[in-house]
Amino acid sequence: MQKRDVLPLHLAAAPFTFDSARASGIPGSRLRRRDVAHVGRGLYRPSDWSFELEAAARALSAASAGAWISHVTAARLRCQILPPWLSDSTELHLSKPRSLPSVRRKGVFGHTLLARDDEIETVDGIRISTRSRTWLDLARTLPLRDLVCMGDQLIRVPRVDFEGRTRPYDTVEGLRSLVGRHPNLQGIVRARDALDLMRVGSDSGPESLLRMAMADAGLPEPDLQLPLRADDPLSPTADLGYRHRRIAIQYDGGHHLLDAQVLSDKRRDKAFESAGWTVLLFDKADLADDFEKAIGKIKHGLRSGWVDHPLASGFASPQ
């Protein structure tokens, strides 16, 4: 039989609320012992607990009636794309409507916001902002290019076999409607600018960053998820590219280091090369220098592709 002074496992393993302790038969006096830390109004944790974001957010949500997890915390819990300086953030962000008192909890970033019911949801017992609303809330914080990366993730077409869903999280039109509801929100101008730069077809943050670097360099806008054979659903595809110049651009991320993926990538690239395309491969080393060298290679490929183009001779400068 369990001793009365021993906390139940679900209370000893993660933060918990006063109400959940009482529901488990734990008296208030037991919560004043050294193995329990009081971290805020109605909120406790085991003294030896190692921080874990989801557990902390779950307890904070349960202890904060009418509030919801938001901003960076919501983005991390939903695995949304964040810049490196926020990707491991342990910040706890909590939002409340204007009808409730402001958030005043130690170690918690509080926000008072106007949000509609469909901009907040409950996921696995945690009341949290939707992915789209989280994107909008972070418009005040994120640089433009990182906001575009997060937005591209929302509107990309999912791969059903790997993700188990058939529809994107949102659309450009849906996000534009969301932005239109909150014209006075801080960061709203940056959100509008991001919408103009977002594109369906960027499957990763680095692909989005490469596309924006190409635009900054004055290069023509590339096609995204460009199939070798148009109208063939089984055709190999390039992350970005120019069909009329037969240039395929691939960004190989960390998962491409796996043996099976390496073989698949080689078959993909060989198919393009056999069809007379130039294949340009980039990776994290190119990302590290903001694609400066990559832009030079793409420019060279475009010049070479145009010289080899059947129409080029008609526009060549006289010798």
Q: Which CATH number fits the domain that encloses residue 20? A: 1.10.10
The number of residues in the chain equals 319
Q: Clarify whether residues 60 and 162 are in a common domain.
A: yes
Question: Residue 277: CA atoms inside 13 Å, Cβ hemisphere, count?
Answer: 27
CATH assignment at residue 296: 3.40.960.10
Instruction: Report how far residue 74's alpha carbon sits from residue 127's, in angstroms, rounded to the nearest whole number.
Output: 10
Q: What is the pLDDT along the chain (319 residues), one digit of tens a residue?
A: 444 577 888 888 788 888 888 888 888 888 888 888 887 778 888 887 777 899 999 999 999 999 999 999 999 999 999 999 999 999 999 999 988 888 888 889 999 999 999 999 999 999 999 999 999 999 999 999 999 999 999 999 998 877 888 899 999 999 999 999 999 999 999 999 999 999 999 999 999 999 999 999 999 999 999 999 998 888 999 999 999 999 999 998 765 555 567 788 899 999 999 999 999 999 999 999 999 999 999 999 998 865 454 444 333 433 3
Q: Is the pTM of this model over 0.85?
A: no
Domain co-membership, 307 together with 179:
no
Q: Which of 141, 165, 200 is the last residue of a domain?
A: 200
* Separation CA 314–CA 202 (nearest Å): 35
For residue 141, give its domain range. 54-200
- Bridge partners for 240 per DSSP: 224, 249
* Whole-number Å distance between alpha carbons of 54 and 50: 12
Q: In terms of domains, do 100 and 194 share one?
A: yes
Total tally of structural domains belonging to the chain: 3
C-alpha span between 207 and 40 (Å, rounded): 42
C-beta of residue 144 within 8 angstroms of C-beta of residue 194: yes
Q: Within this chain, do residues 248 and 312 fall inside the same structural domain, yes or no?
A: yes
Closest CA to 31 of 44, 41, 14, 20: 44
